[in-house]
Amino acid sequence: MSFEMIKEKYTGPIKEIELGKGDNTVKVGGETCLPFYQFEGEVTNRPKIAMEIWDMDPEEWPAAAREPFKDVIGDPAAWAKKCVQDYGADLICLHLRSTDPNEHDVSAEDAVAKVKKVNEAIDVPLIVWGTANPDKDSVVLKKVAEDCSGENLIIGPIEDVTHKSIGAAVMGYGHTAVASSPIDINLAKQINILLENLGLPLNKIVVDPTTGGLGYGLEYSYSVMERIKLAAMTFGDDKLQLPLINYIAFDVWKCKEAKQPVEEDPRIGDPERRAIMMETIAATTYLMAGSNILILRHPETVRLVRQYIELLLEGGTAQDVAPIQKNLSQPEIDYVSMSPEPDLTIEEAKEAPKAEAKKEEAPKEETKKEEAPKEEAKEKAPKEEAPKEEAKAEAPKEEPPKEEAKAEPAQEAAQPSVDESKLRAEIEDKLRKEMEEKLRRETESKAKAEAAEESAEQKEEKAKKAAEEKARQEAEAREKEKEKLKAQLEKDEKEIREKVKKARKGQAGQEAPSFPEKPEEEGPERILRVLRQIHSQAA
Amino acid sequence: MPRVKFYPHGREAEVPEGTLLLRAALDAGVHINASCGGNGVCGKCRVLLQEGEVENGVSEKLSQQDREAGYRLACLSRVTQDLSVQVPVESELDPSVLNLQATPRKTAAIRQVSLEDFKVHGFFLPPIEKKNLQLPPPSSQDNCSDVTRVVDNLKFHHEEHNLEVDFSVIRKITDVIREQDFQTTATLGRPVHEESGKNTILNVQPGDTTDRNFALALDVGTTTVFGQVLDLNSGEVLAEYGDFNQQMTYGEDIINRIVYAEKGDGLQELCQAVLETINRILAKILNEAGVDKDEVSTITIAGNTTMTQLLLKLNPRYIRRSPYVPTCTLFPPIKARNIGIDLEEHALALVFPSISSYVGGDIVAGIMGSLMYQSEEVTLYVDIGTNAEVVIGNKDWMVCAACSAGPAFEGGGMKLGMRAKKGAIEDFSIDPFTFEPMVLTIGEAKPVGICGSGLITMVASLFETGVLDNQGKFNRELDTPRIREAEEGIWEYVLVWAEESGVDRDIVLQEPDIDNLIRAKGAIYSGCMTLLDEIGLTLSELDRVLLAGGFGSYIDLEKALTIGLLPEMDPERISFVGNGSLMGAKMSSLNNHIRQNVVEVTKKMTNFELSETTSYMDKYMASLFLPHTDLDKFPRVQSRLNERKKILSGT
């Protein structure tokens, strides 16, 4: 019989929803499995990226976010067009920021005019986002829905207090609703029920579970989204089998760390890269939680996230993904002056943490100490080695738990007299010795190579080149070593298994160990058992 | 019983003779516009008699011509025979549409243990008994002390042993026994444990007063205090009355009360407040029953842990602080007078034991009083009150949990809430097309407010007719002056216009009142479900549900299920026991064994702290919806709503 992978059976697909109108449509949802679980189902439509634009000059945006759009920032239509044409946005999200009574309190009519303009300028669906001020949104979004009748805009946020005023207009004029709820699965479901009771079909609703920014509540949103997906996919809750939308841009970019200039806290690095990475990491996290539409701000985030989605769906290696392309100049940050004094005490014979702390400073020192490159190189080598050592030390460590997991149930079931921990210790010991030996050899050879370079008294560039070359060689050597180690490990594992098997046979006769079958409990017995458990816990 | 048929609905009800026609209509599930609570003021509830005749039913609101044609006011008509009644409806409506208006009533009337059964099974053993003694006068041959005379008489003529004498008796015995020529009555207090305990001579009275032996039962609730006068010879209830706990002015829930008690003289003030309420109630019911204070031998008190501690003036500070420790769970018999209850010196107060800080004597009383602790059946006992409590179990095991529901069920915390007394709207239905109400009050008086059972019925009816959405918010687009914005953002439904009400204002139901009810029912529902989950039982494994609560004389189960107060199940499995705490106090006054068993029961009970059960909060959030976020858990409500939708969309 051929091997068959056990697959989870899911109760229902996420509803496939078509956004936009005519040729300008995008489909979201439709997946029949948990996020990216293509081995169990189908990701019918890949997650879509919407790019955020504002209907006003977003003065509060940090330079990093403004820079890519500086030519279009006052003109929402041009801005939207640029997002679609230059950055390939799947959708545009027009945030009607200016209508906020605390901002410019722009009228509904003016807002509608902008919405229409943007909608005409693009050939992708348009999300229209209000200010989450229930009174104002009720007026503005209602008007938008009316005046853009039949355009199938995606209109939100619609909360329980506004579900009647906005929801009715969204339904009446043929749009799609963003049902928004404050980070709670029950509330998320309730707003969907309310909208459905109003007459809005569920396939006209996308769910906004409220998006927390990275470091600002992302984990709450993540858990709720996870629960929503599980309720939809494993409990068959049809009121939650809807695509999820996350307005990541707004929540990430408004936080302190995304705006902080380098002078304020140079330790957290280049503000441009920092903010983009924050947005990217939040986005990838939300993808894992099952987001179907991500609303993002920076073009570089969009590129990185799109490539990430591709990698997850089609495979490949992230090494081909280009690093962040900066628009702003690289700030000068003197990390050396900020770095703490190195801690030279030896902890469990590992130098790893110290080496890591000092690693950053290495290139700079190199440039300064031109006259002493040999010494530098010498110093550098073992330091660079250290993290690798750690990595290697970790690699084989991952193996034993596997054995443990396999061995434990067996132990419980049959309790063989073989001392497995002893076996394991033996093997671990062996591996450790091997590694130490290898490390020693490596350092020795490196020291020799460096000694040779030292005598040559070469210039900095040459030294660098050599170092690179060396690194490559090392990498190759390491690869080989790794393979060897792996082979050895596999062999050892096999041996252990054999031993355990033999031992078990010897003890339990021919019979394979089996778990004693639990007898069906009658009602009262079960209750008494549960109560006993409770009491013993209490004790 | 007479049958009443209603047309064009084609529904009927069987009601006891003398029932108000309006009530019969509600029982049948027939809506008749009536907004004055049933005292003939509004004249809207005209019906046409087709067959049969009613008692009364006429007023100046009906013209002579109408009267002769057979028109009557349903709110004034009493049913005495089989009837056929035509209800005027606005237009020619299909009966299926008409019958959307209301669901036939499925009430759980109060199910109490019958006194006869009680006596037959030998349970009638009051903890206080009176013995009539004919003492031999002292003589030169018999010059023992007065006390010895009484004790010896009890020993040799009444088989009473293990006796001890209260000091107050010694003080007065000399005069008392001589007052009626050595005929005297001794009051004996029974010990909790018959074998080891002592019988106490609590009182001596001149003459034979054995036929005048009374007890009081008292339920001290967070919101309401109830008292009962019991005849210890017959076991009958002679009078009963309830009133809001005066402590309400110091905070609506127990947490606020405890906070208040921690400040300065707070404890003293709270104690005084509840004592005033208790003494007022006792004076009233004693007067009503025609019983003198000195004829009362005992008072049994049941209350939640905090109420008990406040009454006994025990510092409640640590009840609200983790790990939630009460001062005492088992109380000795106390002289009622010593704790400030206005009774004679001999009257003994028996206080129900508690289990934990949040599972108090009230629930223990309920379990004892309903005899759930003797039953084989796996029972879910729910005490609906400000501090709702849930118990699951049978005679072998029990688990319990407390969930704070707030005072909504007792008519507290509402704009126009009131206790279930005369003038309280206790029943309601609404016309789904005109949105005109049908209200019925306790005592058929002019409406003055809304009581707990009325609130449940209202919210359920308004929800079923689509006047309320799942969140308990009014549909603001409906064409009726009865739904209006009272103040910024707060909407209300006018039940009774000022001119028809018994108070000088419109009687309204506001959205915050409904929010309170939804929170209250959510707390109870999630409490039940969490407890079931924790012990690994499902609803279908429950044999029965006992519902207790002091919110009225009945509960409309169908309505309670509609709002999701209880998990949906066959209404046949649910019975209503009324005020469980008061019932327990009463039973304990009639059966001394309960006092013995109660200690064992409290030991059997496993308490769950819902606040420390992680799934509770989640279940609670899911319950804050009508009937519940997970509609699949309420298939019957769901199908009824769908049915209604279908019919309405067809018209």
Asked if B535 and A164 come within 8 Å (Cβ–Cβ), the reply is no
Chain A: give the shortest CA distance to residue B475, in Å.
9
Helix, strand, coil percentages (3-state) for chain B, rounded to 5, are 35, 25, 40
pLDDT at A403: 45
Closest CA to B293 of B203, B163, B200: B203
Q: How confident is the model at residue B396 (pLDDT cuts 50, 70, 90)?
A: very high
Beta bridge partners of B484: B492
Q: Inform me whether the pLDDT recorded for A374 exceeds 50.
A: no
Q: How confident is the model at residue A449 (pLDDT cuts 50, 70, 90)?
A: low
Residues B196 and B229 grouped into a single domain: no
Contact of B410 with B575, CB cutoff 8 Å: no
Mutate which: A158, A181, A189, A190, vs B, most B CBs within 10 A: A190
Residues B180 and B286 grouped into a single domain: no
Contact of B47 with B34, CB cutoff 8 Å: no
Q: Residues A129-155: what's their mean pLDDT?
A: 95
Alpha-carbon gap, residue A406 to A397, rounded angstroms: 16
CB pairs under 8 A between A and B: 48
Residues B227 and B342 grouped into a single domain: yes
Contact of A232 with A12, CB cutoff 8 Å: yes
Q: Inform me whether the pLDDT recorded for B291 exceeds 50.
A: yes
Q: Residues A501-524: what's their mean pLDDT?
A: 58
The CATH code of the domain that includes B57 is: 3.10.20.30
Asked if B537 and A527 come within 8 Å (Cβ–Cβ), the reply is yes
Asked if B378 and A523 come within 8 Å (Cβ–Cβ), the reply is yes
Asked if A160 and B535 come within 8 Å (Cβ–Cβ), the reply is no
Q: Which of A264-273, A298-307, B115-124, B381-390 has the lowest mean pLDDT?
A: B115-124
pLDDT at A209: 96
Residue A101 C-beta-side C-alpha neighbours within 13 Å: 9
Contact of A124 with A84, CB cutoff 8 Å: yes
Residues B194 and B218 grouped into a single domain: no
Contact of B277 with B230, CB cutoff 8 Å: no
- Which range of residues forms the domain containing residue B59? 1-99
Asked whether residue B334 is domain-assigned, the answer is yes
Tell me which residue in B534, B622, B631 faces A186 most closely, judged by beta carbons.
B622
Q: Which residue of chain A is at minimal alpha-carbon distance from B476?
A: A164
Q: In what order do the strands lie in the sheet with B490-496?
A: B483-487, B490-496, B507-510
Q: How confident is the model at residue A479 (pLDDT cuts 50, 70, 90)?
A: confident
pLDDT at A367: 43
Decide which of B307, B331, B358 is a domain's last residue: B358
Asked if B625 and A190 come within 8 Å (Cβ–Cβ), the reply is yes
Q: How confident is the model at residue A397 (pLDDT cuts 50, 70, 90)?
A: very low
Which residues of A touch chain B, with CB atoms under 8 Å apart? 160, 164, 184, 186-187, 189-190, 193-194, 197, 237, 523-524, 526-528, 530-531, 534-535
pLDDT at B65: 85
Residues B342 and B326 grouped into a single domain: yes
Q: How confident is the model at residue A369 (pLDDT cuts 50, 70, 90)?
A: very low
Using an 8 Å CB-CB cutoff, list chain A residues near B541: 523
Contact of B290 with B572, CB cutoff 8 Å: no
Question: What are the tokens at A475?
Answer: 């990498």
- pLDDT digits over B7-27, tens only? 877 888 888 888 888 888 888
Asked if A186 and B606 come within 8 Å (Cβ–Cβ), the reply is no
Exposed, middle or buried, B142 (CB in 10 Å: 0-12/13-18/19+)? Answer: exposed
Looking up tokens 């050899």, which residue turns up?
Answer: A441
Beta bridge partners of B186: B131, B204
Alpha-carbon gap, residue B301 to A247, rounded angstroms: 59
ipTM computed for the complex: 0.75
Closest CA to B15 of B263, B417, B522, B6: B6
Q: Which residue of chain B is at minimal alpha-carbon distance from A194?
A: B470
Using an 8 Å CB-CB cutoff, list chain A residues near B629: 186, 189-190, 193
pLDDT mean across residues, chain B: 87
Q: Inform me whether the pLDDT recorded for B98 exceeds 80.
A: no
Tell me which residue in B476, B536, B624 faces A526 most closely, judged by beta carbons.
B536
A21: left (phi over 0), alpha (psi -120 to 50) or beta: beta
Query: Three-state SS string across B265-293, please?
Result: CHHHHHHHHHHHHHHHHHHHHHHHHCCCH
pLDDT at B147: 94
Decide which of B183, B206, B229 is a domain's last residue: B206
Q: Which of A15-24, A283-292, A391-400 has the lowest mean pLDDT?
A: A391-400
- pLDDT digits over A407-421, tens only? 444 444 444 445 666
Higher-scoring residue by pLDDT: B389, A348: B389
- Which amino acid is it at B573? R
Question: What are the tokens at B120?
Answer: 């037959």
pLDDT at A504: 62
Alpha-carbon gap, residue B175 to B152, rounded angstroms: 18
Residues B224 and B196 grouped into a single domain: no
Number of neighbours of residue B317 by Cβ within 10 angstroms: 15
Alpha-carbon gap, residue B73 to B82, rounded angstroms: 17
Residues B150 and B74 grouped into a single domain: no
DSSP for A136-196?
HHHHHHHHHHHHTTTS--EEEEE-TTTTTHHHHHHHHTT-EEEEE-SS-HHHHHHHHHHHH
Q: Which residue of chain B is at minimal alpha-carbon distance from A199?
A: B645
Residues B198 and B311 grouped into a single domain: no
The CATH code of the domain that includes B150 is: 3.10.20.880
Residues B194 and B220 grouped into a single domain: no
DSSP for A55-90?
SS--TTS-HHHHGGGTTTTT-HHHHHHHHHHHH--S
Q: Is the dihedral of CA A159, A163, A165, A171 positive or negative?
A: positive
Chain B: give the shortest CA distance to residue A197, in Å.
9
Backbone angles phi, psi at B555, to 5 degrees: -135, 135
Asked whether residue B239 is domain-assigned, the answer is yes
Q: Which residue of chain A is at minimal alpha-carbon distance from B623?
A: A186
pLDDT at A281: 97
Using an 8 Å CB-CB cutoff, list chain A residues near B477: 164
pLDDT at A169: 94
Question: What are the tokens at B102?
Answer: 């209301």
Domain A17-320 has CATH 3.20.20.20: yes
pLDDT at B521: 94
pLDDT at A395: 45
Cα separations in angstroms, A142 against A96, A106, A124, A150:
13, 15, 22, 13
Chain B: give the shortest CA distance to residue A189, in Å.
7
Residues B240 and B266 grouped into a single domain: yes
Tell me which residue in B397, B536, B629 faces A189 most closely, judged by beta carbons.
B629
pLDDT at A380: 45
Residues B293 and B336 grouped into a single domain: yes
Backbone angles phi, psi at B353, to 5 degrees: -70, 155
Domain locations in chain A as residue ranges: 17-320, 401-448+483-508
Asked if A535 and B621 come within 8 Å (Cβ–Cβ), the reply is no
Q: Residues B90-116: what's their mean pLDDT?
A: 60
Q: Inform me whether the pLDDT recorded for B567 exceeds 70.
A: yes
Decide which of B99, B118, B139 is a domain's last residue: B99
Q: Inform me whether the pLDDT recorded for B450 exceeds 80.
A: yes
The CATH code of the domain that includes B346 is: 3.30.420.480
Chain B: give the shortest CA distance to residue A191, in Å.
9
Q: How confident is the model at residue A457 (pLDDT cuts 50, 70, 90)?
A: low
How many structural domains comprise chain B? 3
Q: Residues B533-550: what's their mean pLDDT?
A: 90
Those residues whose C-beta lies under 8 Å from the C-beta of residue B536, and which sit 6 or more positions away, are: A526, A527, A530
Residues B168 and B75 grouped into a single domain: no
Beta bridge partners of B401: B390, B608
Q: Which of B321-330, B499-508, B522-531 has the highest mean pLDDT?
A: B522-531
Q: Inform me whether the pLDDT recorded for B399 exceeds 50.
A: yes
B214-227 per-residue burial string, b: 16 or more CB within 10 A, e: under 16: bbbbbbbbbbbbbb
Tell me which residue in B399, B470, B535 faces A197 most closely, judged by beta carbons.
B470
Which residues of B touch chain A, with CB atoms under 8 Å apart? 378, 396-397, 399, 469-471, 476-477, 534-537, 541, 606, 618, 621-622, 624-625, 629-631
Tell me which residue in B471, B534, B618 faces A160 most closely, judged by beta carbons.
B471
Asked if A530 and B396 come within 8 Å (Cβ–Cβ), the reply is no
